[in-house]
Structure 1
Amino acid sequence: MQNNQAAWAVVLAACVPLLATAQAAKPKPAPQLSYQSAFADYKPYQDAPLANWRALNDTVAGAPVGESGHLGHGMKAMEPPAAPATPASAAIPMQPMPMHEGHPKRGGKQ
């Protein structure tokens, strides 16, 4: 029991200087908080100014053929590739499908 008390005395003696320095240090004050609304830089919607439709049509009419409305991509690029030619003997014959018999009427009779 005597050794246990001596160990506690050593631990307490080691902690006293740490407690003294912890109480002596003054905490820094927290920085001042500021508030800025999420709508501070909001600009309400405004309609775009109307343009002369005749001048716009003339501008579009002057575009190169095949490039207007497709961002410069010609319509030929959108065509599917041609299927490879296969001999007639390689073609799989079509089997006729059976006709749908219908659903039985209520009560299990047709």
Structure 2
Amino acid sequence: LLDVDPNDQEEDGANIDLDSQRKGKCAVIKTSTRQTYFLPVIGLVDAEKLKPGDLVGVNKDSYLILETLPTEYDSRVKAMEVDERPTEQYSDIGGLDKQIQECVR
């Protein structure tokens, strides 16, 4: 989380990047696809409560931070979570003895 003031970084004759003109709180986020983005914190989430390593929900197009997520929530893990206990037993599945033994190991 960065507190950006564009006047602090300005030098005479230097090229000016649009990102350098942003004022206020900005954040650097890393997406689940390992892309890194520098963007403003627009006020939907209290910037003072954000800290490095927090999980945040972002807009899929603009990547603006919309909400903070609980620390136990990670979409990659959530996709692999068992929602309900299966009712089938190994004996209910026929013809896969070799594959079942591999799964048991």
What is the TM-score normalised by the length of structure 2? 0.21
Instruction: Please identify the structure whose Cα radius of gyration is greater.
Output: 1
More strand by share: 2
More helix by share: 1
What is the TM-score normalised by the length of structure 1? 0.20
Q: Which has the higher contact order (CA 8 A, sep 6+)?
A: 2
